[in-house]
Chain A
């Protein structure tokens, strides 16, 4: 599903974010990407959804070379991936419903399809009652659930979550992680970059540890450190 071979990313000014990464994530896997801030986790995520191109090496998503995609092909890559960020990235001047519907409209979905799928996803994340609320009327955990709903409403084959619990308290964080687990059990690949040690240690899923841009550990049932 997601593969990297000899991938390096050097930002202008000789800042090495990733250094010779080799990794295969199969369809349906749940992977924690752990490591201190600035280790390269966000760069990893950006390379997968095509916001950055690798300086060296090969990034494959569903067998397609992301680094070689033409700019106008990138939107279609992103429609097969759902992305969740630490800061939610919601549009505060639109309702919860509209925020989720946004991702569908972009694909040219019909009004009927939107009215069918958005409520379904909202009830999956437990926000069916808040469809008409605006993001700033919601708690942080609820906002993150909206952004999660937006990420999965198009039925992506993988969800990339970059520090999705970074702004949330422990209880709320577990809500989000449990949702990600549910999404994963339905067959969606999930990659979650995090430094929430408690969560990683408790779940015992595959853990890829990155430090200074290199993979220092890759264990099938790993812990945070």
Chain B
């Protein structure tokens, strides 16, 4: 009796094991990507757009190309509600999924980025933060696992000054001008402050910082101050409801919207449409542009939406700023997998191999054209020391109905930003007892 019980138990165990093995075999040609998305709450508009675009691009790769090198992409969403604790839970939940674990973590939230910053290095999962997150992580010697790609807040701040300079007719014309820095009173809002202060000294303009308390739907006193100060330009470093409020207040104050420059988190349809006519003329930065007239977006329409496999419920949002930003997330993830596959072979890649892929990622102008993303996002080249890789942004202007690109790619003043990054990263390394990597020895 006892014997048979043992026997049956082991048979069951064997059956289970066989099932697991079969499962593992079936998964063998799949690359898993965990998506910590947020589709509810205050930032749902951003989350559903970015993650929708990203998922659509991965569906495109699966449908049109049969995956990458025969390896299909799989993914699972986990709702973070833009909440740090939920983000950590999602990170932990997703990290062991798939045959090789989560390939890359991209939370699209600076708070969650900080919350998992120490964990990604321990678990060997690369974290890619495109246009948000920890700026000094650009120094890949100290942060091997974190990739704040394309551009950072500091780089962006320098391009803003450059853009304003070009509009004034040359950087030397900035002398004696006055710029108001209207910012969301949080760690995010203060990111640009130091850089613009330095630029103000360099080019001889005055900068007036004005803080707006979260969430930013009350800005009367700030705009009263702006009216008194009579600045030549207003930099809007806003987020969420603060942006349309600022635009409406500017209209009421009579400040020309053509003289307002926003960050890339102020420059989506969700920021301008609620302000109505008041938004017309407003300018904002973007490391991706809006619009459906790019081959990559058309390819998604043809291969994904025509087959009814699209992720967006509201199809009019295809081509919006957030949606296209999601496509950029998709392109970078897929190209990194391609890069890593070129070295490690067409198989599901581990976190370590993925990290190599991100660190050697190079998307040049030619490749962008092949991808159908020429002018859609800047070219970039990541190295061991430089995890930013580009620093370029374009400026777009809201014409009342849509965003129109009004500048070419503007390079950041990276010579100025780099020492600041290195200083900050070195301080972090010292606090955490990290010995920076020697990049000359990295393969």
- Chains A and B come from one and the same complex: no
Give chain A's interface residues, CB within 8 Å of chain B: none
